[in-house]
């Protein structure tokens, strides 16, 4: 079945690293995504990883994938107040096909 | 380069009415997907349109229907509105099934 779970809330201090975790149940997931949603806005694609990769780095963002445990994480280095938002993990079986989202993790960055 | 645009931004309806939401995909994209995001939840897939046909559908009743036009823009129609239809409706576009989906800012639908 399809199920994506995330922790609900994370609070960090400005300048620290943030790690947002996600677990999924569908072993046939092909692509896994991280989206960011700011208040009153739509979803902004941050990064994605293909299921045959273990890690992907993009500037301050690092994605780690443990396919055996079906665990995905997003690390944000040097977290800034502008990073405060809701972060969604999503999976899909085919590139561009329907996305299955978690409930989102609220990231609060304290200055 | 315009991104995904949706209209209207906000809409208030009463139970039993019908509503039409509109979406223009990002330039160069030909596939449009619609999602419903209830307050405090992640988006739920409604359906996806490609080449003017519904290619895939989520677990939503037939009250939810859609259309894609030759210019790739799309409409989402909801009939016999229920209080539970109150949500943020998000449109996402992509280039076929080969690339990531990019989202608009959504239409906030409130049912009274």
Q: What is the band of A67 on the pLDDT scale with cuts at 50, 70, 90?
A: very high
* Closest-CA residue of chain A to B90: A42
For the segment B29-82, what is each residue's pLDDT rounded down to a tens digit? 999 999 999 999 999 999 999 999 999 999 999 999 999 999 999 999 999 999
- Lowest mean pLDDT, pick from A14-23, A45-54, A88-97: A88-97
- Residue B11, C-beta contacts closer than 8 angstroms, at least 6 positions apart: B19, B21, B107, B108, B109, B110
With contact defined as beta carbons under 8 Å apart, do B105 and A41 qualify? yes
Neighbours of A5 (CB within 10 A): 12
Of chain B residues 19-48, which have a CB less than 8 A from chain A? 31, 33, 35, 40-45, 48
Q: Give the pLDDT confidence score for residue B100 in this predicted structure.
A: 87
Measure B50 CA to nearest chain A CA, in Å.
11
SS3 A89: strand
Task: Print the SS3 string covering B28-65.
Answer: CCCEEEEEEECCCCCCEEEEEEECCEEEEECCCCCCEE
CA distance B17 to chain A (A): 25
- HSE (CB half, 13 Å, CA atoms) of A100? 20
Does the structure show a pLDDT above 60 at A80? yes
How many Cβ contacts (< 8 angstroms) between chains A and B? Answer: 63
**For residue A1, pLDDT beyond 70:** no
pLDDT tens-digit readout, A82-97: 999 999 999 987 766 8
- Chain A contacts of B40, Cβ < 8 Å? 103
In whole angstroms, give the CA distance from residue A80 to residue A18: 10
B104 Cβ under 8 Å from any chain A Cβ:
yes
């Amino acid at each position: 079945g399809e199920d994506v779970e995330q922790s609900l809330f994370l609070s960090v201090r400005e300048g620290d690293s943030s790690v947002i975790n996600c677990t999924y149940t569908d072993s046939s997931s092909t692509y896994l995504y991280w989206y960011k949603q700011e208040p009153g806005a739509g979803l902004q694609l941050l990064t994605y990883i293909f299921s045959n990769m273990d890690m992907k780095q993009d500037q301050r963002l690092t994605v780690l994938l443990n396919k055996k445990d079906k665990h995905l994480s997003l690390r944000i280095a040097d977290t800034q107040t502008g990073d405060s938002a809701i972060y969604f993990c999503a999976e899909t079986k085919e590139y561009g096909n329907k996305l299955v989202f978690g409930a989102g993790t609220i990231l609060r960055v304290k200055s | 380069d315009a991104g995904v645009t949706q209209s209207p931004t906000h809409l208030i309806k009463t139970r039993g009415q019908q509503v039409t939401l509109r979406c223009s995909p990002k330039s160069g994209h030909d596939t449009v997907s619609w999602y419903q995001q209830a307050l405090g939840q992640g988006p739920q897939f409604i359906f996806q349109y490609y080449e003017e046909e519904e290619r895939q559908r989520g677990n939503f009743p037939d009250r939810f229907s859609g259309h894609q036009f030759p210019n790739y823009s799309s409409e989402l129609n909801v009939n016999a509105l229920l209080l539970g239809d109150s949500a943020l409706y998000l449109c996402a576009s992509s280039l076929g099934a080969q690339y990531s989906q990019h989202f608009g800012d959504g239409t906030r639908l409130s049912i009274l």
